[in-house]
A = this chain, B = another copy of it.
Amino acid sequence: MTPIEPIAERRPQHLPNDEPACCKPHPFVDVDRLSLHYGEKSAFQDVTLSISKGRITALVGPSGCGKTSFLTCLNRLTDLIPACLVSGRITIDTLDVLAPQTDVIRLRRRIGMIFQKPNPFPLSIRRNLEFPLREHGLRDRTQLSTAIETALRDVGLWDEVKDRLDSPALALSGGQQQRLCIARALALSPEMLLMDEPCSALDPISSGIVEDLIVRLRGRYTILIVTHNLAQARRIANDAALFWVHNGAGRLIEAGPAKQIFEDPRDPLTAAYVSGMRG
């Protein structure tokens, strides 16, 4: 392995204030010195970052640097993983996410998540959307079908599937499945979306469609997207953050407006990464 120069006490250089004042970003999520350990192994350490409301923040970095792990802290999916230890502080709006008394069910309703591999449930298309809605207390039939239609229209899937709402969701193509998953998350009207490489398992055409969809959702939702595809990040993100593995644990190297990160990075590692020298 090629050695990397030691990064002595490097602090993330998050500069949320260098944008024009007209659209001054308003922080929605505040992450303070967050670390995550899987048993002995550290996934990432000491991440301090704030994510602005209504914007798309892209998280980039090499494989294994803890991007996915970072996302799962925000909606406390980490609870499902045994021997997983989170320390630090996450504040969403005014909610202390990591506090034990936090109602995770409500938290997760507020924060939708899309995974790398499209993962609709093995149910019909309709049931995929209806089932979480019902669980969250929506029982009325007409309201349900309106919500389903709205969500499917939002992701541009309505016309493609309206005639076969009761056929199995897993019979859809990969891109359609991913959009269905997004619709499923949107149906619960979350405030924020976490997306973990939502396009990387899709063929180029579906990937393009999903990407367009994400752009359309900007403004309405706060979106945090992990991607390997730097071109994509460049195309869609307002803000960007770069993670890197250092001494076996992920670190936040640099964060800021996408334009600055991609065109004028402050950190030599960022510069190397975005110029495609590595990765």
Residues of A within 8 A of B (CB): 1-2, 4, 62-64, 173, 175-176, 202-209, 231, 245, 273, 276, 278-279
A216 smallest CB distance to B (angstroms): 16
List, in ascending order, chain B residues with CB within 8 A of A203's CB: 62-64, 245
List, in ascending order, chain B residues with CB within 8 A of A207's CB: 278-279
List, in ascending order, chain B residues with CB within 8 A of A64's CB: 203
List, in ascending order, chain B residues with CB within 8 A of A175's CB: 1
Contact B62–A204 (Cβ < 8 Å): yes
Contact A2–B63 (Cβ < 8 Å): no
The answer for the CA separation of A2 and B1 in the assembled complex, in Å, is 43
The answer for the CA separation of A78 and B207 in the assembled complex, in Å, is 29
A227 smallest CB distance to B (angstroms): 14
Pick the most buried of A62, A63, A175, A278: most chain B CB atoms within 10 A of its CB.
Answer: A63
Contact B209–A2 (Cβ < 8 Å): yes
Q: Among B63, B202, B205, B278, which residue has its beta carbon within 8 angstroms of that of A208?
A: B278
24 pairs, CB–CB < 8 Å, chain A vs chain B: A1-B173, A1-B175, A1-B176, A1-B205, A1-B206, A1-B209, A2-B205, A2-B208, A2-B209, A62-B203, A62-B204, A62-B205, A63-B202, A63-B203, A63-B204, A64-B203, A203-B245, A204-B273, A204-B278, A205-B278, A207-B278, A207-B279, A208-B278, A231-B276
List, in ascending order, chain B residues with CB within 8 A of A176's CB: 1
Pick the most buried of A173, A202, A204, A273: most chain B CB atoms within 10 A of its CB.
Answer: A204
A119 smallest CB distance to B (angstroms): 18
A56 smallest CB distance to B (angstroms): 20
List, in ascending order, chain B residues with CB within 8 A of A1's CB: 173, 175-176, 205-206, 209
Q: Which B-chain residue is minimally distant from A206 (CB atoms)?
A: B1
The answer for the CA separation of A66 and B264 in the assembled complex, in Å, is 40
List, in ascending order, chain B residues with CB within 8 A of A245's CB: 203
Known A1-B175, A1-B205, A205-B278; 17 more pairs at CB < 8 Å: A1-B173, A1-B176, A1-B206, A2-B205, A2-B208, A2-B209, A62-B203, A62-B204, A63-B202, A64-B203, A203-B245, A204-B273, A204-B278, A207-B278, A207-B279, A208-B278, A231-B276
Contact B63–A279 (Cβ < 8 Å): no
A206 smallest CB distance to B (angstroms): 7
